[in-house]
C-alpha cells in the first residue's frame, strides 16, 4: 500500500543515465524518451497525483546533477518527495544505473514503491530486477498496467489482480496473467513533454505504429504492427508545435511506411498543416531501404517535410544479411540509396559490424577484408551520416538464444549489462576474427568517417556560397547542391569530437582487462 504523506502523491519517472559518454550522448541531450512521457501523461490524469519525468541524459535547464553521471536524487527527494518511483528499462546498458537508483530510493525510505518496465525485462531478467530494489516489473506495454497497479496499491488491494506484472511474494517470483497489447490508442492522452523537468528538448519523439513484422533475429520489437490513426499522429505534432514552439520531430515507428495508404494520408495532412500555419517542420523517420521503389511515397514524404531517413543497412556482406534474416542483396543497396538521394533525403546509415553467421557456415572473412567492404560500400552509397555498432545479444532475442546455445557469450560477471550498448564485443566472434579486432574495426570505421580535416572543407564550402547566384532559375535545387556537402562536412567535423570523447572514455574504463578475463572464463566453462 502507498503511504500517503501530505495531500497529494507524487510519481517520479526516471530515465537512467548512460553508463559513460558514447556516440548517443549528443543526441540524448537534445531529446527524451517517448515511452516514459506517455506513461507519465497517463498517470497525470489520475486525481490527487503529481507527475514528473527526470531524464538523466538531458539535464540542461537547472538540472540538479549528481557527483557522477545522472541527477542528484537526494536533492530531488528532499525538495519534492515521491511515493512511487518509475524506472525506464528500455536500454539494457542503463540497467546497472537503474538498479542503483532503485536501491537508493529504497534505502532512503523503505515505503517508497519502485516500478520498472521496458524492452530489457523478459522472463530471464525479471528475477534479477526483483532482487535489485524493484517492487514491480511491468511486462510489455505499461499505460493500462501502471494505471491499474497504482489504483490497487493506493487502495491497499492485491497486486495479483493486476494483469501484466511480476513481483516477489514470500521470496518467489509471481507472474500475473498476460495483458493483451493495445490495439486502440485514441483513448490515451497526448504525450505531455512539459512533465520532463530540467530538459531542453530540441527533437521531439512521436509515434503512430507499434510493432514490426520483419522478425529480425537481433531485434526485440516483434509482432503484427498496431496503428493509431494519421489524425492522432498529426494531433501529437500540432499540439507540441503550438504549445512548445517545436520544429523538429523524430517519428519513432520502427518502419515508416507500414500501412501505406494511411502513411500517404498522414503525409498529405502534415503538408496541409504546415501550409496553414506557415511554418516548416523538419522530420526524421526510420524506413526500409526497399521503399525506394515506392516513388509516390517518397514524393509525399518530401512534401511533408521529411528531410532525413534513418536506414538499417546492417551490413554490405551477403552472409551476414542472411543470418539477420534481411531479404535484400548488397548489390541492390547502392542503387536504392541513390533513389533516396535523388529525392533530396539526407541518409543516416546504420550498420552492425561482425554479425555472427549461422553456426557451421563455411564463411571465414578476415577483419581487414570486412573493413574494406564497408568502406567501399559507404563511399559508393554516399551515406550522409554513419553509425557503426557491434552486435548486441539482447535479452529475449533469438540472437542471444543462438549464441547461448553455442556458449559464445561472455559472462555477465565480467562484461555486465552496462556494456550492452553496441560499442563493445560481447561474445566470441566468427573466426578468424578476435574480439579485439572487432572492436578495433568498429572504431576504425567511425574514425575514418568523422575526421578533424572536415573543418577546412567547411570554410571552403562557405567560400562557394555565392555560386547559388547561378541557380536563380531554380533556387531550391541550387540550395540543395550547396547545403548537402556543407552540412555533411560540419557533421563530420563535429562528429570527430564525439568519437574522440568516446575513445577517451574507453581508455578510462579498463574494458580491455575485463575482456581478457571474460574470454578466459568462457574458455574454461
Q: How far apart are the first and last CA of the chain?
A: 45
Q: What is the pLDDT of residues 495-525, one digit of tens each?
A: 888 888 877 777 778 899 999 999 999 999 8
How confident is the model over 36-54, as pLDDT tens digits?
999 999 999 999 999 999 9
Mind giving me the DSSP string for 259-302?
SHHHHHHHHHHHHHHHHHHT---EEEEE--GGGGG-HHHHHHHH
**Closest by alpha carbon to 206, among 14, 12, 31?**
31
Residues counted in the chain: 525
Cβ–Cβ under 8 Å, residues 244 and 259: no
CB atoms within 10 A of CB 166: 21
**Cβ contact 510:418 at 8 Å:** no
432 preceded by a cis bond (ω within 30 of 0): yes
How many Cβ atoms sit within 10 Å of the Cβ of residue 25? 16
Report whether 201 contacts 28 (CB < 8 A): no
Please, are residues 435 and 519 in contact by the beta-carbon 8 Å criterion?
yes
E strands, 390-426, where? none
Contact 273, 283 (CB under 8 A): no
- 516, 478 in Cβ contact below 8 A? no
436 and 429 Cβ atoms separated by less than 8 Å:
no
Q: Which CA distances in Å does 3 have to 6, 11, 116, 263?
A: 10, 13, 19, 47
CATH number of 193-403+414-447: 3.20.20.70
Cα of 514 vs its chain's centroid, Å: 26
Q: Could you tell me if 303 and 347 are in contact, meaning their C-beta atoms sit under 8 angstroms apart?
A: no
Range list for CATH 3.20.20.70 in the chain: 193-403+414-447
Cα separation, 256 vs 206, whole angstroms: 12
**DSSP code of 428?**
P
Question: Contact 349/381 with Cβ under 8 angstroms?
Answer: yes
Pairing of strands 84-88, 9-15: parallel
DSSP class of 79: H
Query: What cell does 413 get?
Result: 560477471
- The widest CA-to-CA distance across the chain, in whole angstroms, is 78
Q: CA distances (Å), 260 to each of 233, 257, 263, 297, 338, in order?
A: 15, 5, 5, 8, 22
pLDDT tens, the chain, 525 aa long: 565 555 789 999 999 999 877 767 778 889 999 999 999 999 999 999 999 999 999 999 888 998 778 999 999 999 999 999 999 999 999 999 999 999 999 999 999 999 999 999 999 999 999 999 999 999 999 999 999 999 999 888 899 999 999 999 999 999 999 999 998 899 999 999 999 999 999 999 999 999 887 778 888 888 888 999 999 999 999 999 999 999 999 999 988 988 899 999 999 999 999 999 999 999 999 999 999 999 999 999 999 999 999 999 999 998 888 888 787 888 899 999 999 999 999 999 999 999 998 777 778 899 999 999 999 999 999 999 999 999 999 999 999 999 999 999 999 999 999 999 999 999 999 999 999 999 999 999 999 999 988 787 766 655 544 544 445 444 455 556 657 787 888 888 888 888 888 777 777 788 999 999 999 999 998
Beta strands in 154-218 (DSSP E): 165-169, 172-175, 196-197, 204-206, 209-210
Q: What is the C-alpha to C-alpha distance for residues 442 and 371, in angstroms, rounded to an integer?
A: 9
3-state secondary structure of 152: helix
CA dist 265 and 273 (Å) reads 12
Shortest CA distance to 89 belongs to which of 59, 130, 58? 130
Helix 454-463 crosses helix 475-509 at what angle (to 10 degrees)?
Answer: 160
Contact by Cβ (8 Å): 433, 366? yes
Query: Start-end ranges of CATH 3.40.50.2300 in the chain?
Result: 9-175
| Pairing assessment for the beta strands 226-227 and 209-210 based on DSSP bridges | antiparallel
Element of type H or E holding 233: helix 230-244
Compute how many other C-beta atoms are within 10 angstroms of the C-beta atom of residue 294: 18
Question: Cα–Cα distance between 461 and 477 in angstroms, integer?
Answer: 16
Give kind and range of the element (H or E) at residue 466.
none
Topology of domain 9-175, CATH: Rossmann fold (3.40.50)
The residues facing 86 across adjacent strands are 13, 115
H runs (alpha helix) in 382-510: 398-405, 435-449, 454-463, 475-509
As beta bridge partners, residue 52 has 12
Amino acid at each position: 500500500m502507498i503511504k500517503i504523506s501530505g495531500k497529494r502523491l507524487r510519481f517520479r519517472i526516471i530515465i537512467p543515465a548512460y553508463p559513460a559518454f558514447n556516440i548517443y550522448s549528443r543526441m540524448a541531450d537534445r531529446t527524451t524518451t517517448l515511452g516514459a512521457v506517455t506513461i507519465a501523461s497517463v498517470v497525470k490524469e489520475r486525481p490527487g497525483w503529481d507527475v514528473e519525468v527526470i531524464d538523466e541524459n538531458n539535464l540542461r535547464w537547472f538540472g540538479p546533477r549528481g557527483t557522477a553521471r545522472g541527477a542528484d536524487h537526494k536533492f530531488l527527494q528532499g525538495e519534492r518527495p515521491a511515493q512511487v518511483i518509475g524506472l525506464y528499462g528500455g536500454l539494457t546498458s542503463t540497467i546497472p544505473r537503474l538498479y542503483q537508483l532503485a536501491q537508493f530510493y529504497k534505502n532512503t525510505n523503505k515505503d517508497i514503491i519502485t516500478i520498472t518496465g521496458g524492452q530489457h525485462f523478459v522472463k530471464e531478467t525479471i528475477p534479477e530486477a526483483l532482487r535489485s530494489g524493484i517492487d514491480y516489473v511491468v511486462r510489455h506495454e505499461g499505460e493500462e498496467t501502471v494505471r491499474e497497479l497504482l489504483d490497487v496499491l493506493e487502495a491497499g488491494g492485491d497486486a495479483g489482480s493486476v494483469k501484466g506484472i511480476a513481483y516477489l511474494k514470500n521470496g518467489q517470483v509471481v507472474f500475473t496473467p498476460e495483458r493483451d497489447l493495445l490495439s486502440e490508442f485514441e483513448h490515451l492522452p497526448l504525450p505531455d513533454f512539459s512533465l520532463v523537468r530540467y530538459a531542453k528538448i530540441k527533437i521531439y519523439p512521436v509515434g503512430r505504429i507499434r510493432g514490426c513484422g520483419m522478425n529480425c533475429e537481433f531485434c526485440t520489437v516483434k509482432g503484427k504492427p498496431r496503428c493509431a490513426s494519421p489524425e492522432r499522429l498529426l494531433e501529437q505534432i500540432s499540439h507540441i508545435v503550438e504549445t512548445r514552439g517545436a520544429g523538429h520531430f523524430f517519428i519513432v515507428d520502427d518502419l515508416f511506411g507500414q500501412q501505406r495508404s494511411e502513411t500517404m494520408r498522414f503525409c498529405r495532412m502534415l503538408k496541409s498543416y504546415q501550409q496553414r500555419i506557415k511554418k516548416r517542420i523538419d522530420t526524421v523517420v526510420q524506413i526500409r531501404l526497399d521503399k525506394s521503389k515506392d516513388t509516390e511515397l517518397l514524393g509525399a514524404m518530401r512534401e511533408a517535410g521529411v528531410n532525413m531517413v534513418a536506414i538499417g543497412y546492417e551490413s554490405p556482406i551477403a552472409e551476414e544479411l542472411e543470418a539477420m534474416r534481411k531479404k535484400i542483396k548488397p548489390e541492390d543497396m547502392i542503387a536504392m540509396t541513390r533513389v533516396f538521394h535523388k529525392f533530396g533525403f539526407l541518409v543516416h546509415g546504420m550498420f552492425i559490424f561482425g554479425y555472427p553467421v549461422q553456426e557451421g557456415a563455411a564463411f571465414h572473412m578476415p577483419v581487414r577484408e570486412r573493413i574494406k567492404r564497408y568502406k567501399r560500400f559507404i563511399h559508393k552509397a554516399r551515406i550522409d551520416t554513419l553509425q557503426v555498432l557491434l552486435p548486441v545479444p539482447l535479452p529475449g532475442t533469438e540472437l542471444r538464444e543462438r549464441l547461448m546455445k553455442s556458449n559464445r557469450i561472455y559472462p555477465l560477471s565480467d562484461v555486465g549489462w552496462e556494456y550492452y550498448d553496441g560499442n563493445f564485443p560481447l561474445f566470441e566472434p566468427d573466426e578468424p576474427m578476435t574480439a579485439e579486432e572487432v572492436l578495433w574495426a568498429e572504431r576504425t570505421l567511425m574514425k575514418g568517417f568523422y575526421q578533424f580535416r572536415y573543418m577546412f572543407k567547411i570554410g571552403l564550402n562557405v567560400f562557394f556560397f555565392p555560386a547559388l547566384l547561378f541557380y536563380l532559375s531554380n533556387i531550391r535545387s541550387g540550395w540543395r547542391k550547396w547545403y548537402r556537402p556543407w552540412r555533411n562536412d560540419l557533421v563530420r567535423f563535429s562528429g570527430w569530437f564525439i568519437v574522440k570523447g568516446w575513445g577517451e572514455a574507453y581508455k578510462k574504463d579498463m574494458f580491455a582487462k575485463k575482456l581478457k578475463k571474460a574470454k578466459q572464463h568462457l574458455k574454461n566453462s
